[in-house]
Structure 1
């Protein structure tokens, strides 16, 4: 069994987790709020290490692999943040934040197997280290542990966790199968993002409201914010997937495209290719035409240095194409919609932080 990656150095701050500027919280009340989040994040980080101890040296190494590789801890930060609408951090809020992050980590193990990803968070993906079976079983193990943690909080949390887990699976299934005949591929894709990414971010936010005993009327706006910002987050990821800055993104440029994942820039390119010859020519470099008398695309040629170079060049061309700019514009629309959902929340540091987070989402590069 290979050892885990070097322990990632993380800064448990709102700035590092949500991409918020250091000068955002100027008043003493706002600074006190930020300190509460940071203390909560430290408690969550410690709790995550405890929860990923299975008294089994193999499981301990594989389950902590991506945890120790880093990550922004966006989801637990949102749980802690929305808890400030109520009584703030307490044991239940910390446990809920841990459960959401463990669920997220579990999904990464499975996603990387399905996408045949080579890198995750700047380190080799789990299945490239231990193989598909170990990676899948590690994801299963983490899903089980997340369920155990959330079950300790009672039926409400467990019901929400189960509903979200169902949506995660349905989103992945629908992405794998693709849109049905006559279904708009772009609408289908956006729903996949709402299920696969938005649902878990929404869960993170609403658990903070529930377990801090915040007013019940805050649950809906926080849920809507989480789902919409999750879609925006993933759309920006679609653009980041095209980035050549592997050291910054932790992924090889075009990872999703290599795996056949139809990101929004590619879906927009397909649409543009219907009337634009240049777009059609670029699309053909990602999607070979069907063989004669066949509805099935011809098998991709075996990778070669020339083929890899052409693919990299095609990714660079797509990165600079108008369809990628259109993807960023769509991300901004979802981010603006997420902010609009916050209208019922009281003015204060929570609303301010969520608003700034939504703005930071569309400006990030990793």
Structure 2
């Protein structure tokens, strides 16, 4: 298969020495990913590498490498764990695009659009299997963690596709979905780095908790970006979630308003926003609504909680970078 460009590191708070080590680690992970997804069947190889070749942030493997800095060394086991996390994430994207009937991912045609739904599902399954195969070489505890993470990913996706049950608080339900759908895998990424660099169990658990909160902040910031950014800034089409009828945190806060002045916005949010005119009106009203600031404050609070989780570990360049990462992730919304 043809090689993708090496990933670039976006962690401006890191020292030059730490940046260099992380960059080297990301190159190793990228090489490992490309090696694992390759296949003797050229069709399978191309479909498996479709999103890998398109690039991506490599946010999760970066986190694995960064928490490994809290231990002794970036071992081959750390690289395999980071690779498994990235493969699991890629597999989930293949399945997400089928469920969402997406046509574009990472500025290229999504796999379901480039091939078909059946291929996208099966290749997603193949990538999950490849991730599990890697983790099997890391020991029984890693296999259990991978299995539990996969369960949570599936539960989060199933619950995300359904409205909050009658009597449940919609905000609490949504945050619970995010904990499973996004927080679980980011938590595992952070946990693996500490585990396979020889950190004590207490540090591993702190990293797991930090990762879960970081994943939440990451997804909540994405929710805000969908509303507040323009396409030139984010590379995404604004209001995609609105058009698809996804009630993210700002929308849920707006729907909970009892102010009669918000009646028009609530009416629009309950309508079919595939209509361009209604979509534009809704996005305009929502951008000016206090619900956006309320959601931003919640996102910042989750990021601060992630920072404070690290307090028992003291100070180091890696911990400084982890604390800055939490803020950076949350404030991508501007």
| Displacement of 1:129 | 2.2
| Displacement of 1:333 | 0.6
Contact 1:87/1:213, CA 8 A, preserved across alignment: yes
Matching residue within 153, 165, 171 for 1:180:
165
| Displacement of 1:33 | 2.7
TM-score, structure 2 length as denominator?
0.94
Partner of 2:133: 148
Partner of 2:100: 115
Matching residue within 5, 12, 20 for 2:8:
12
Contact 1:102/1:145, CA 8 A, preserved across alignment: yes
Partner of 1:102: 87
Unaligned runs of 5+ residues in structure 2 are: none
- How large is the RMSD of aligned CA atoms in angstroms? 2.1
Q: Distance in 1 between matches of 2:238 and 2:317?
A: 37
Please list, as runs of the form range in 1=range in 2, the aligned pairs for 1:41-60 lying within 5 A after superposition. Answer: 41-60=26-45
Contact 1:242/1:316, CA 8 A, preserved across alignment: no
Partner of 2:286: 318
Please list, as runs of the form range in 1=range in 2, the aligned pairs for 1:291-306 lying within 5 A after superposition. Answer: 300=272
Q: Distance in 1 between matches of 2:261 and 2:119?
A: 43
Q: Distance in 1 between matches of 2:183 and 2:34?
A: 25
Q: Distance in 1 between matches of 2:262 and 2:104?
A: 29
Contact 1:231/1:334, CA 8 A, preserved across alignment: yes
Matching residue within 315, 324, 328 for 1:356:
324
| Displacement of 1:8 | 6.3
| Displacement of 1:244 | 5.2
Aligned residue pairs, count: 334
Matching residue within 285, 288, 295 for 1:327:
295
| Displacement of 1:284 | 2.0
Q: Distance in 2 between matches of 1:121 and 1:245?
A: 16
Matched, 1:222 2:207: yes
For the structure 1 residues 81 and 244, does the alpha-carbon distance in structure 2 shift closer, same or farther, using more than 3 Å as the test? closer
Q: 1:64-96: per-residue Cα shift (whole Å, max 9, x none)? A: 111222211111011111111112211100000
Deviates more, 1:275-284 or 1:45-54: 275-284
Partner of 1:281: 264
For the structure 1 residues 334 and 35, does the alpha-carbon distance in structure 2 shift closer, same or farther, using more than 3 Å as the test? same
Runs of 4+ in 1 over 4 A off after TM superposition: 6-11
Q: Distance in 2 between matches of 1:138 and 1:131?
A: 11
Matched, 1:197 2:193: no
